Every structure is written in C-alpha cells, then in structure tokens.
Structure 1
Amino acid sequence: MQESRLFKIVYYLLEHEKSTASELAEKFEVSVRTIYRDIDALSSAGIPIYATQGKGGGIYLLDNFVLDRSVFSDNEKEQILTALKGISAADGNNLDELLTKLRALFEIKESSWIEVDFTSWYKKKPKQDIFRLLKDAIFSKNVVKFKYFNRNREMSERKVQPIQLVFKDKYWYLYGFCLLKNDYRFFKLTRMTELQVLTESFCRDFSELEIGKTIKYSENISVKLKFNKSIAFQVYDEFYDEVKECDDGSLYVEAELPNNDILYTKLLSFGDDVEVLEPESVREKIREKLENMFKKYL
C-alpha cells in the first residue's frame, strides 16, 4: 500500500509541480506525519524530492526530474507503445519519431505482433480531419458546431460541449453535452458535416462523469434469428459466441440488439440468409421494409 502511495505522490508532484504536506495528506487520506515519512522514504530511494518551510514553500521535485524507465514493467512499456500506435492510426498523426524514442528509452526492439489500422478495406477513412478538430476542442474546452443527421434521417444544427471521442462497434462517436437538447448525447462522426470549433469556451466539470452510466445510446430488444449455414463466417463475425449450431446445419442466434434503424440495417445486410423468429414486431417491420423495396422495382 505504501509503495503504491509513494509512486502516486511522485506522479502528483510531476503533474502539479508543488504541493503541501496537508494537501497531500488530504489527497491520499493519511496523516501529515505519514506524508513526511513518505518524503523521507522517497529521498532515501534517490528521488530528488524537497520540502521547504515558510511563505512560498512546499513539497516539490527537482526541476527536469523524470521517472526512471525501471518504474514501468515490461508489460506496461508494451501497453504504452501499443496505445500510441492506436492513437497514431486513429488521429492520422505520424508518431514514428516518438515511438522510436520510447523504444530506445524502454530498450524494446521493434515489435510487430500487432498493427492498428482504422481504414476500410475498400476506401480510405475520410474523417481524420474531424477527429483532430474534435480532439483539439476537447483539450481546449471549446464548443463545436456542426450539422448532424440523426437516425430518423432528420438534419439539425448542433452546438456541443465535447467530452470524449469513443470508438464502439466499428465506429467513432463524439460524446458531449448538446446545447440544443440540453442533455448528454452521442454523435456518430460519419454523420457530422460542416464542423467548426468555436471561440466560445466552457468550464463544465466532467471529472466525476461516469460516461457509461450517464446515457444509454439506445434501448435494446431481444431477437431470435436463424441463419443459413452458407454465411457462417459473417454470422460469427457479428455475433461471436452467441451462435449455436442446429441439427439441420443452420445457425441460431439469440441476442440483444439496438431497437432502432441499426437493427434493420444489420438484419437486411444478411439478405435472404436470415429469418427473424421472434419477436413478431420485428418480423412485421421487416415485411414492411421489403414491401417498400419491392414497390420500387415494379
């Protein structure tokens, strides 16, 4: 426990430059006396940490101090490099120089066990400029404005206080506080156009926000599906271990899926190789869509 707290004290001072014993005691929920013992322990371990008394004094680290590479385990070093490769692929920025420096610092040879690439097999991903603009707006806390097409095919102009970029189920989303709806919302990047980062800033505190619990992107519906075995590769791609093989060779899936247009787009992508067994409401909606499609080809 003490070892963990010692590292946390060092990280805190690296981030805040200076603190007081009482502030650290409150932060880590220990006594001031314990904090001073921790400082002695860090100093004995060779960490250049100092405490000065009087006005303007406090606890601080020597200027230009950096953590030794031995602080990170081999697994943590690999995780850092992998995360940076993912950021580079998503953001479109070339981080090769940074990755090379970190590999040298960590004494890790070029690793090729994983490659992160968010581009499509069919065309280049077109939203890297939007991604970079949104990332900058999140860090600078600037409001963004854009036109957005929602799942009901309606276009509206939105002003949003951006919080986080989220990658989920093959797509990027912006999560933020929508000033039009006065609520938290997800926005799919591929549906955004004419994005602008405004000079208008905001100071809303998101530090305590639990994004996963604050808003549900969609209500789900339980569906039972039967697939032709000829598209087994596609079924396993979509549903993983939810797939069960029937005696006749067909594939059976029972899953929770979004109860909106995403559901029908997904089901229709399987063509006539899928049958919706339940619920009847989904079967009826599929019939309506197929009838409308049929009329267009009369």
Structure 2
Amino acid sequence: MTISRNFEIIYLLLDRKVVTAKEFAEHFEVSTRTIYRDVDVLSGAGIPIYANKGRGGGISLLEGYTFNASMLTSDEQVDILVGLQTLAITDFPNTDLILKKVARLFKKETVNWIDVDFSPWGSGEKKKQLFTLLRNAMIQQLVIQFRYFNSQGEQTLREVEPIQLLFKQNAWYLSGYCLWRKDYRIFKISRMDQVCVSNQTFTLRPTADAIKNAEKQVGESSIPMRIRIASQGAYRVFDEFDDHMITKNKDGSYTIVANFPVGTWLDSYLLSFGTLIEEVHPVYLRERLVKKLEELKHNLEINTS
C-alpha cells in the first residue's frame, strides 16, 4: 500500500504541481504525519520532492522533474505508451486510466495512432462484444459453450476451456481444451455461434504451442497443389499467400504452389476465385471443380424454371 501511495503522490504532484499535506492526508485517508513520512522516503530514494510549511506552502517536486527520465529513454517511454494504448484498444480493464497517468508521468501526449475492431465489417453489437466475452472467460477461467460450423459443413455443440486468442493468416482463432473431444482444439471465431459463458470454472492444463499443433494437424491432412490466378486476382494472391509461394508469369498471371487442407472447404475456396482461376493441379481436383460447377448450373436452372 505504501509503494502504491508513494507512486500516486508523484503522479498527483506532476499533475497539480503543489498539494498540501492535509489534502494528501484526506485523499489517502491517513494522517499528515504519515504523508510527511512518505515525503522523507521519496526524498531518500532520490525523488526531488520538498515541503514548504505555513500559509501558501505545500508539497511539490523540483521544477522540470520527469518521472523515471533517468531510467527510460524518450523512445522507451513512447514504446510503453504505445503498448498501453494497444492494450486499451482490447478493452482491457483500467488501461485508459493507467495510460493517462503514465503519459502525465512521462510528460508526453498520447496519440491515437492505432484503432482495432476485431469484428467483421457490418457486424452487429453482439459480434463486436464477442472478443470481450472470450477474454473475460479466459481471465476468469470459465468454460464457454457454443455452436461450431466446421469446414465440412457440419455443426456441433462444444464446451471448451478457453486458453488463448490467436491471429493467423487474416483470421482470428480461439485455442482451448475441448471437453467433447477431450483434447486441445483451435476454433475459427467467425464460425462460432451462440457463444455463452457458463458458471463452470476450470484449472489451466499444461499446454503446448497452439499454433504449432494446429499447423501440424493441418499439415497431416494437406495435399500439394499448383494453381494459376489471372492478373486481375493479384489482390487475393498477395492477401492470402506468402511471397515464396508466388511466381509471377510473363502474361501477368500468378502461379501459386502450396499445401492445401483437403475436404469440402477446398472446393469452396477454389470456386471463390470464380473466373480468376485459370489452372488447377492435380487433375482430379480440377475434374471435381468442373463437376461442382455442373451441379451449381443444374441447381440454378431448376430454381429459375
């Protein structure tokens, strides 16, 4: 408590310049004798703080003093403020207040250089609050329940001990221990629906690298592919593939060589390129896409006749 009080004494003096011992005592609900003792402790620690007694007097800091200026460079102070601002964007508790205090301690203005909204474009308020809900469940170690839609088009009800939020290849995922599968799983957040937090608490289990495990699982069920995308599809090529996977052809098109997870997701993904996709290997995948297109044409003809 003493350390916390001493820190706030410095903060208040940097903000208000001069504060009387009586004002400090009322603020902290201690005696003026305790405040003067705190002043002595701070002075002994090298803080240039002094007290002028009598009418018009008070406790103040040496003019021009900046907290921790000797310990942190100007760039390091900015890095701390940037880190706090980034944390504040996630709605982490009390970070706005801490950010303001630290900015005043460093005598620097905060700049809103970053803004983050985890929800998709056009999302409703419920979707926007999903990350806050998941974060609170992780902090409080509460089991969450939700309906999940996998890449095979199947939907299941899940109970999960949430562990970590992950960002991978333009998408957010939740890493957790699935009580149904009795194993660690990663869930794409955009496929989670009807998410609710239960009253059931859990104890954190020993965990491994969630992303590494997920990549291993994907790698075990992936196949090597080569696709060619027309030049007009450059925006998707560079959005969705690493540079080492991409070769630009003489005609302006792009050849991508990469491993893709098998399943119905792959068909839908390739079809999402529409007329931008010009070539697909291996051959059996190309034939499967043609068959899907024929089924689509048939369905459309039936529904328009």
TM-score class, shorter: 0.5 to 0.7
Matched, 1:212 2:215: no
SS at match of 1:100: helix
1:243 aligned residue: 246
SS at match of 2:232: helix
Q: Is the 8 A contact 1:69 1:105 kept in 2?
A: no
1:225-236 equivalent positions in 2, closer than 5 A: 225-236=227-238
Farther off after superposition, 126-135 or 156-165: 126-135
TM-score under structure 2 normalisation? Answer: 0.64
SS at match of 1:231: helix
Q: Is the 8 A contact 1:174 1:188 kept in 2?
A: yes
Matched, 1:275 2:281: no
Q: Is the 8 A contact 1:276 1:282 kept in 2?
A: no
2:293 aligned residue: 290
Shift of the 87–202 alpha-carbon distance from structure 1 to 2, 3 Å rule, reads same
Which amino acid letter does the alignment assign opposite residue 211 of structure 2? G
Aligned residues: 234
Shift of the 83–269 alpha-carbon distance from structure 1 to 2, 3 Å rule, reads farther
Which amino acid letter does the alignment assign opposite residue 273 of structure 1? L
1:252 aligned residue: 255
TM-superposed CA distance for 1:270, in Å, is 1.8
SS at match of 1:152: coil
1:180 aligned residue: 180
Identity of aligned residues (%): 33
Distance, in Å, in 1 between the alignment partners of 2:226 and 2:117 is 33
Which amino acid letter does the alignment assign opposite residue 223 of structure 1? M
Which amino acid letter does the alignment assign opposite residue 160 of structure 1? V
Which amino acid letter does the alignment assign opposite residue 152 of structure 1? Q
TM-superposed CA distance for 1:273, in Å, is 1.3
Distance, in Å, in 2 between the alignment partners of 1:101 and 1:214 is 41
Write the deviation string for residues 116-135 of structure 1: whole angstroms up to 9, x where unpaired. Answer: 44454555675232221211
Distance, in Å, in 2 between the alignment partners of 1:79 and 1:163 is 27
Write the deviation string for residues 216-245 of structure 1: whole angstroms up to 9, x where unpaired. Answer: 352333221212112323322322523322
Distance, in Å, in 2 between the alignment partners of 1:153 and 1:224 is 25
2:22 aligned residue: none
TM-superposed CA distance for 1:175, in Å, is 0.7
TM-score under structure 1 normalisation? Answer: 0.65
Which amino acid letter does the alignment assign opposite residue 262 of structure 2? N
Shift of the 210–252 alpha-carbon distance from structure 1 to 2, 3 Å rule, reads closer
Q: Is the 8 A contact 1:127 1:189 kept in 2?
A: no
Distance, in Å, in 1 between the alignment partners of 2:201 and 2:119 is 32
1:96-107 equivalent positions in 2, closer than 5 A: 96-107=96-107
Structure 2, gaps ≥5 residues long: 1-44, 47-66
2:8 aligned residue: none
Larger-gyration structure (1/2): 2
Structure 1, gaps ≥5 residues long: 1-45, 48-66
TM-superposed CA distance for 1:290, in Å, is 1.4
1:138 aligned residue: 138
Distance, in Å, in 1 between the alignment partners of 2:106 and 2:86 is 19
Q: Is the 8 A contact 2:163 2:175 kept in 1?
A: yes
Distance, in Å, in 2 between the alignment partners of 1:258 and 1:81 is 41
1:13 aligned residue: none
SS at match of 1:297: helix
TM-superposed CA distance for 1:266, in Å, is 3.2
